[in-house]
Amino acid sequence: MTFLFRKTFNTHILKQKVISWGFQNKTRVFLPNGAYAFPAGYFAEYKMGIK
């Protein structure tokens, strides 16, 4: 899995220009197992649209 992330990062994110960044508030997400998750964290948005 580490190899897949590294390859994807090097292909799509490395050396791309960041156009915005910030903190994502908790968002309630319903999971397939019937539980709820509340993902939150920092984000960066890149020039080509990846966030």
Tens digit of each residue's pLDDT (9 = 90 or more) over 1-51: 567 888 888 887 888 888 888 887 788 889 999 999 888 788 888 877 666
- What does the pLDDT read at residue 36? 92
- What does the pLDDT read at residue 49? 64
Could you please report the per-residue DSSP string of the chain?
A: -HHHHHHHHHHHTTTPPEEEEEEEPP--EE-TTS-EE---EEEEEETTS--
Q: What is the pTM of this model?
A: 0.45
- What does the pLDDT read at residue 30? 92
- What does the pLDDT read at residue 51? 62
